[in-house]
Amino acid sequence: MSINTKIDRGQACTMTSEDHMPGPMCLIENVKGQLRANQGALRILSAIKRPVVVVAIVGLYRTGKSYLMNKLAGKKTGFSLGSTVQSHTKGIWMWCVPHPQKTGQTLVLLDTEGLGDVEKGDNQNDCWIFALAILLSSIFVYNSMGTINQQAMDQLHYVTELTDRIRTRSSPDQDDLEDSDEFVSFFPDFVWALRDFSLELKVNGKPISADEYLENSLKLIHGTNDKEREKELNLPRLCIRKFFPKKKCFAFERPAQGKKLGQLESLQDEDLDSDFVEQVAEFCSYMFNCSKVKTLSGGIKVNGPRLKSLVITYVNTISSGGLPCMENAVLALSQTENAAAVQKAIAHYDKQMNQKLQLPTETLQELLDLHRTSEKEAIKIFMENSFKDVKQVFLTELATKLERKQEEFVKKNVQASSDRCSALLQDIFSPLEEDVKQGVYYKSGGYRLFIQKIQELKKTYYKVPRKGVQAEETLQKFLESKEDVTDAILQTDQALIEKEKEIEVERVKAEAAEMASKILEEMQQKNDQLMKEKEKSYQERMKQLTEKMEKEQAQMREEHQRAIAHKLQVF
Ligand SMILES: Nc1nc2c(ncn2[C@@H]2O[C@H](COP(=O)(O)OP(=O)(O)OP(=O)(O)O)[C@@H](O)[C@H]2O)c(=O)[nH]1
Ligand SMILES: [Mg+2]
């Protein structure tokens, strides 16, 4: 068991605030050459809702990487250092701290297993550690000892292998950009940290900056006799120039001499080389000021849960023998987030409707208007929280769900109106029913009185507000149920001659038919309203979708243009 694995168990990190981890934790374990995401660390990432700036450090083993990362964390100890020649850090370790300069952002420090340890035998793992550090970070620190000589360049062969290890797209494009040309759009900024750099930075007697030194070192070699070797020597230089548009170099003095080097963690700044202390301060200041939030294709800003999703997708792909693909990782991310966006939109719709809707509504339009406003807001929320919704799968799901909800509300509205109207009719007509029971209308002239009374009560019924969409239908049904009584009163009325009774029966029938046709007309009107509403919903979705797609396409075009511009600049 490695020392760091012991620490992982021993000091199980508990978060005291969103991004305060008392110490680092293993994020990607490397157990016998198998990479595995650590669930505890993933849980910590889930809780970080702020955008993350991810700094990863990579380089040969035993070159002071962990020590430098502790400096970025502002701590003396943290990432565990080894004091022997044995390689120490295993896998990829993570430490999330509040960003020292940018409030509202979290700094995620990734310390990686040293490359090139001869004890490991093959370098497969090294290549994957290198690739993962590139894929996960927004600023990538390559750490090496001494000057940038050919040996240092050769050690950077990992960068030349990235084209075989990383894909940007799931299916290569037919356009003028190769897959690796697009690395530039998504790759982190590049920082080369030169440790124990003791030479003076001068060319032809003139002082040069570390950045100029790096630029000079990346110039291609020309004019040798061995063209094959020349190509080989130039490849890492070309790759760095091609993949990383933004480069920076820092040279550090040896921090201390002799045995002190083994006890750096316990030394105060006064005990360290003063130039080194200054150089570390400069390095930290650059990292804090110039590092960007990790951003994915399409301008998607990464926060903790998104970083977690990237870790899972990449590690799973690598463990199952596949090549990590940036586009697929973004798609995997979009699946989870778009599903959540649908939920969020629905929750908002439900909240709005429950707060504002009072059933029964006076008219169907009143309900439909409220639905439309809430639906518009829900779609907006979905658009704000979703991305790369290929073929609008999730938008369609949302639309279907909202449509079903609208149908449910329409049904509920009908029921509420029927219930209210029935109760109202019961209330209004019960004295009349009582009189009928008492035989008040079964007498000569009783029929006219009865009809008069009904007309009166109908008026009372019509006057009551908010009866809703079923007002007519419920009344008609109610009156229909009273037809037998009406008929019996008519037949017993001695004051009317047979002819008058016949006419009256016809009149009542005509009145009922008129009411029925009115109701039919109303139903037709309601159907038309619902159809129109569907059309409006569709138009609203399309409007918001077009706006979003235009924005996404502009972003893509910009990324593409940047890649082409960089390609032209490098060659
Ligand atoms: N010479 C030298 N030693 C350093 C420097 N920084 C740290 N060290 C010492 O080098 C040893 C290894 O430091 P680490 O930070 O563990 O190195 P690492 O690159 O993380 O090592 P691995 O995890 O094995 O890859 C420790 O004893 C450190 O005190 C430096 O700038 N120069
Ligand atoms: Mg280390």
Q: Among 363, 454, 464, which residue's Cα sits nearest to residue 423?
A: 464
pLDDT at 10: 36
What b/e sequence results for 320-342 when a residue is b if at least 16 CB atoms lie within 10 Å of its CB, and e otherwise?
eeeebbbbbbbebbbbebbeebb
- Confidence category of residue 152, pLDDT binned at 50, 70, 90: confident
> Tens digit of pLDDT for each residue in 284-333?
999 999 989 999 988 899 999 999 999 999 999 999 999 999 889 999 99
What is the atom index within ligand 1 of the atom nearest the CA of 61?
25
Structural domains of the chain, ranges and CATH numbers in brackets: 3-167+183-296 (3.40.50.300), 344-553 (1.20.1000.10)
> Tens digit of pLDDT for each residue in 235-254?
999 999 989 989 999 999 99
The verdict on the CB of residue 2 being under 6 Å from ligand 1 is no
Task: Report the phi/psi class of residue 369: left, alpha or beta, with left for phi > 0 and alpha for psi in -120 to 50.
Answer: alpha
What b/e sequence results for 354-366 when a residue is b if at least 16 CB atoms lie within 10 Å of its CB, and e otherwise?
eeebebbbeebeb
The verdict on the CB of residue 66 being under 6 Å from ligand 1 is yes
Q: How far is the CA of 25 from the centre of ligand 2 (A)?
A: 13
Query: 182: which 2 tokens?
Result: 């697009």
Calculate the average pLDDT of the chain: 90
pLDDT at 481: 94
The verdict on the CB of residue 62 being under 6 Å from ligand 1 is yes
Pocket test for ligand 1, best of 260, 261, 263 (most atoms within 8 A of CB): 261
Residue 147 has pLDDT above 70, yes or no: yes
Q: How far is the CA of 67 from the centre of ligand 2 (A)?
A: 7
Q: How far is the CA of 88 from the centre of ligand 2 (A)?
A: 5
Residue 97 has pLDDT above 80, yes or no: yes
The verdict on the CB of residue 306 being under 6 Å from ligand 1 is no
> Tens digit of pLDDT for each residue in 414-453?
999 999 999 999 999 999 999 999 999 999 999 999 999 9
Q: Among 285, 209, 288, which residue's Cα sits nearest to residue 249?
A: 209
pLDDT at 122: 64
- Confidence category of residue 539, pLDDT binned at 50, 70, 90: very high
Q: Is 406:389 a contact under the CB 8 Å cutoff? A: no
pLDDT at 191: 97
The verdict on the CB of residue 71 being under 6 Å from ligand 1 is no
> Tens digit of pLDDT for each residue in 547-566?
999 998 999 899 888 888 88
* Average pLDDT of the residues in 344-372: 97
Residue 12 has pLDDT above 60, yes or no: no
What is the atom index within ligand 1 of the atom nearest the CA of 261?
29
